[in-house]
Amino acid sequence: MFQYSFPAKPVMAETMAKMLWEIKAVHFRPEEPYTLASGMKSPVYIDCRKLISYPRIRSTIMDFAASTLLSEVGFEQFDCVAGGETAGIPFAAFLAERLGLPMIYVRKKPKGHGRAAQIEGDMPEGARVLVIEDLTTAGGSMFTFIDAVRNAGGTVDHGMALFYYGIFKEAAERFDNGKVALHHIATWQNVLTVAREKSLFDEKTLNSVESFLNAPLDWSAAHGGVSELPTA
């Protein structure tokens, strides 16, 4: 019923980065930086939601996600997969199917009517839940869903982000303090490496992006954005 392959982690990271470029899900624009919800200025932007529209690519990435979890965590370590509203929901469905597990999804806030539920689906008390999102920057949104699962009686020791920014020390601290192991496939460094190898941009653009990845808050402040991330 289940067939898994276990490619080397660098191969999965490079392949996912190439696929993101192929479907134009990532953008470099240092001359006109993006303003993120945190107020940070960024020369890079990614839209992982586009993955759901490409069946061959999304299937490969779900294979990579399953491989990552099975090799790094184990085969019988989860009772269900939880997707965060809204971007994490389809990927939770895809991954739950791959792993042969039940799926639930978690709202950002409880509904204001009916049962006022924040978790939809059937989550038994004490269930070992894997929380998945399409991407995570510093982990804030993922912990909104992790805390909701824990408050409802579930156990969360692992999170899965298909794409991880991998540039904020605050993220590592947040996951360490929250006692959650974060698993991921690709990062911005992988995306930049592919962009350099394929000469997708001029050297000035690539160097500016690299400067941002090495010191994102300094880059943000120098371009009119915030110099620190919100603590919430």
DSSP 199-226: T-S-HHHHHHHHHHHHSHHHHHHHTTS-
Query: Structure pTM?
Result: 0.93
Q: Say how far apart CA 121 and CA 106 lie, in whole Å.
A: 9
What 8-state DSSP symbol labels residue 163?
A: E
Which residues, including other chains, have CB under 8 Å from residue 108's CB and lie 6 or more apart? 84, 85, 144, 145
Q: Say how far apart CA 212 and CA 85 lie, in whole Å.
A: 29
pLDDT for position 113: 53
What string of pLDDT tens digits covers the 232 residues of the chain?
A: 577 889 999 999 999 999 999 999 999 999 999 998 889 999 999 999 999 999 999 999 999 999 999 999 999 999 999 999 999 999 999 999 999 999 999 999 887 554 548 999 999 999 999 999 999 998 889 999 999 999 999 999 999 999 999 999 889 999 999 999 999 999 999 999 999 999 999 999 999 999 999 999 999 999 999 998 776 5
Q: Say how far apart CA 125 and CA 153 lie, in whole Å.
A: 5
For the domain with range 9-222, which CATH number is right: 3.30.70.990, 3.40.50.2300, 3.40.50.2020, 3.30.930.10? 3.40.50.2020
- Which 3 state secondary structure label does DSSP give 69? helix
**Every domain of the chain and the residues it spans:** 9-222
pLDDT for position 37: 81
pLDDT for position 48: 96
Which pair of structure tokens corresponds to residue 71? 């090799």
pLDDT for position 228: 87
pLDDT for position 114: 46
